[in-house]
Amino acid sequence: MAGYIVRRVLQAIPVLLGTTFLIYFMVFAMPGDPIVALFGDKTPPPQVIEALRERYHLDQPFIVQYFIFLGNIFRGDLGVSFSGQPVSEVLASTFPVTLRLAALAIFFEMVAGITVGLISGLRKGGIFDASALVVSLILISLPIFVVAFVAQYIFGIQLGWFRTTVGIGAPMQDLILPALVLATISFAQISRLTRASVIDTEGQDFVRTAASKGLSRNRIVPVHILRNSLIPVVTYLAVDFGTLMVGATVTEGIFNVPGVGRTLYQAIIRGEGPTVVAFVTVMVLIYLVVNLLVDLLYAVLDPRIRYAK
Amino acid sequence: MPSNITRPDQQHYVAPIEETPVVAIDAVKTEGKPSNLWIDAWNDVRKRPMFWISSALIVLVVVVALFPGLFTQVPPNNDCQLANSNGGPTDGHPLGFTKQGCDIYSRIIHGTATSLSVGIIVTTLVFVLGIVFGSFAGFYGGWLDSVLSRLGDIFFSIPYILAAVVIMSVFSQYANVWVISLAIGIFAWPATARVLRAEILRVKNSDFVMASTALGVSRFRILLRHVLPNSIAPVIVITTISLAAAIVAEATLSFLGVGLPSNIMSWGNDISAAQSDLRTAPQVLILPSIALSVTVLSFILLGEVIRDALDPKARAQR
């Protein structure tokens, strides 16, 4: 197990370096003057260009610039947003909100997805299965912002069940609607994954053995089928995390949730290039770490992974 | 020598095949064309109503994109009257007007080409990059595999919409259909490459590959003529679905404000522009959303049908 962890962490290092390099390359090393590009249509005065050039170490060779950037990221120095606040401070104040939103969304999608997937899988080909398939295909096809607006219009404006925008401090009851919207993206994937996995597991020998031992269905389903079907669902969480981050950017923007996503959304709208880059870099780093953790968790759950070479 | 031994090297009596029960077990249809994965898949697919419904919708979308003039005579951009702002349907304007007083129906019709071209360009890019990276990594293995796979990991670990956000906010002044497609496609290919690599690893140890090697066929030719055609099925499935994903990605980027400039007709832009009036004029937002969702749904459905037909595992779970 220790060997596996070490190997997996070592494998993550080149990917980590590569991704940060790529983001850096995309923004600061493209043809054309990046400083001028940062200003869009406006032409900044030469003094500003000079100051920025020095601030971003553009007088240094490219590879030196990259390592300065990397060093700053790891020291937690993400630069300063246009409003003058350090990006790391903005991140620290917005991150807990997004974490709560994401946790709530994961809770909703897991409970609903696994339940629906289990029932569809056990009654393959039934009416429930067919309608679940139709609903999940429609949900997959609806872009997240469409779901968000429709939910906001129906539940917020027409029915008045929820507030359309999140209040100060982001109380939990205001987060329910955005979390439900966020959960719809992955609900379809999770329910279908669970369904496929349940069907697979149900055909396994150990399930037949359990049945022939005379175990009741009420014991076979949760203990033998469900538990063994959840391994692929757990790994899906890693992929899901990326979806959630993109989804959160849109959802938080629409519902005005004061989280990382909305801050990124506003930075994009205002064209704050450096802030956008800092946020995306941090998100990618978090994504990589989560993926690593899920891989390790997977190895704990499934011994075959850990012992395979 | 008994009379029923027919060949000189034959030592035992062998009954003619039609006299043995083996014929029933071994019965192989020899008349007609031999069946293969693609013929089987086609026979499966054409019996399913879902295939015809989704194909019909896709054909409709393509026709609308190619010949918008067949569906509407109203210009989408000029001829907008602010007096009609967020107005309901009137004669000749069946879906009403946007905030700027433009005809919604006409804008939906003319926005089709944008979504579809982004989808097609991204998918082509993903398909080509995925095949090159995936097949070289899977087939040649060794250091080439390590390099290409790690490279794929790097691109894979940045969620592609976030990457596109960065690219598009840097190149905002150059934004057009090609730039946005490149921005999406350049980070979307690793999934395809991974699928193909795994499939090639499975196929390349088959007997027919060994037979070709023994016949002296060159490695590259084996890859091209034998391995790739036998590993392409899962790639076809993922490609159909990635077309849908690309259309959503464009709309999302346009919605976020880093997509296409407002002078290019795009459903994402129209949805984005309508969001401030959701309370008073929801139809302005809902109508292009429906167009977007139906288009995406038809590609997803087609992908589902093809997956069911090509993937025996999916078929068993039906």
Report chain B residues whose CB lies below 8 A from the CB of A142: 293, 296
Using CA atoms, how far apart are residues B315 and B220, in angstroms rounded to an integer?
A: 33
CATH number assigned to the domain with residue range B38-317, chosen from the 4 options 1.10.3720.10, 1.20.1440.230, 1.10.20.60, 3.40.50.720? 1.10.3720.10
Contact check, Cβ <8 Å, A280/B304: no
For residues B121 and B272, the answer to whether their CB atoms sit within 8 Å is: no
Contact check, Cβ <8 Å, A143/B286: no
pLDDT in tens, B81-112: 666 666 667 766 676 777 776 777 888 888 88
For residues B285 and A157, the answer to whether their CB atoms sit within 8 Å is: no
For residues A20 and A70, the answer to whether their CB atoms sit within 8 Å is: yes
> Locate tokens 């629906």: which residue?
A116
Q: Flag whether pLDDT at B23 surpasses 90.
A: no
Using CA atoms, how far apart are residues B137 and B162, in angstroms rounded to an integer?
A: 26
Smallest CA–CA distance, residue B217 to chain A, in Å, is: 32
pLDDT of residue B129: 92
Q: Flag whether pLDDT at B304 surpasses 50.
A: yes
Q: Flag whether pLDDT at B65 surpasses 70.
A: yes
By Cβ distance, the residue of A125, A153, A273 closest to B282 is: A153
Q: Flag whether pLDDT at B18 surpasses 70.
A: no
Smallest CA–CA distance, residue B162 to chain A, in Å, is: 7
By Cβ distance, the residue of B159, B172, B278 closest to A149 is: B278
pLDDT of residue B132: 92
> Locate tokens 């629409």: which residue?
A254
pLDDT of residue B258: 81
pLDDT of residue B1: 47
The more confident residue out of B158 and B235 is: B235
Contact check, Cβ <8 Å, B163/A15: no
Using CA atoms, how far apart are residues B305 and B291, in angstroms rounded to an integer?
A: 21
Of the ranges A193-197, B251-255, B313-317, which one carries the lowest mean pLDDT score? Answer: B313-317
Report chain A residues whose CB lies below 8 A from the CB of B259: none
Q: Average pLDDT, stretch B44-66?
A: 87
**Mean pLDDT score of chain B, rounded to an integer?**
80
pLDDT in tens, B182-207: 888 888 888 889 888 888 888 888 88
The answer to whether residue A23 neighbours chain B at the CB level (below 8 Å) is: yes
The amino acid at B34: P
Using CA atoms, how far apart are residues B261 and B172, in angstroms rounded to an integer?
A: 8
For residues B152 and A22, the answer to whether their CB atoms sit within 8 Å is: no
Residue of chain B whose Cα is closest to the Cα of A200:
B317
pTM: 0.79
Residues within 8 A of A (CB atoms), B 275-294 only: 275, 278-279, 282, 285-286, 289, 292-294
0.90 surpassed by complex ipTM: no
The residues, ordered by sequence, that sit 6+ positions from A233 with a Cβ below 8 Å of its Cβ are: A110, A113, A114, A190, A193, A194, A197
Is B93 in a helix, a strand, or coil?
strand
The answer to whether residue B146 neighbours chain A at the CB level (below 8 Å) is: no
Contact check, Cβ <8 Å, A245/B159: yes
Residue of chain A whose Cα is closest to the Cα of B50:
A134
Residue of chain A whose Cα is closest to the Cα of B282:
A153
Reference B309, options B227, B245, B237; nearest CA is B237
The residues, ordered by sequence, that sit 6+ positions from A182 with a Cβ below 8 Å of its Cβ are: A101, A102, A105, A144, A244, A247, A248, A251
The more confident residue out of A245 and B302 is: B302
The answer to whether residue B252 neighbours chain A at the CB level (below 8 Å) is: yes
pLDDT in tens, B114-131: 889 999 999 999 999 999
Contact check, Cβ <8 Å, A200/B317: yes
Contact check, Cβ <8 Å, A19/B296: no
Of the ranges A259-263, B66-70, B91-95, B307-311, which one carries the lowest mean pLDDT score? Answer: B91-95
pLDDT of residue A7: 78
The answer to whether residue B153 neighbours chain A at the CB level (below 8 Å) is: yes
Using CA atoms, how far apart are residues A102 and B69, in angstroms rounded to an integer?
A: 45
Q: Average pLDDT, stretch B261-277?
A: 81
By Cβ distance, the residue of A26, A41, A144 closest to B167 is: A26
pLDDT digit of tens for each residue in chain A (309 aa)?
677 778 777 877 887 788 777 777 776 645 455 566 566 667 777 777 777 777 666 666 767 777 877 787 777 777 666 666 777 788 888 888 888 888 888 889 889 998 998 888 888 878 888 888 888 888 888 888 888 888 888 887 777 777 777 666 667 777 888 888 888 888 888 888 888 888 888 888 888 888 888 888 888 887 778 877 887 787 777 777 777 877 888 888 888 888 888 887 777 667 666 677 777 777 777 877 887 787 777 777 666 666 554
pLDDT of residue A99: 84
The answer to whether residue A242 neighbours chain B at the CB level (below 8 Å) is: yes
Contact check, Cβ <8 Å, B317/A195: yes
Report chain A residues whose CB lies below 8 A from the CB of B153: 15, 18
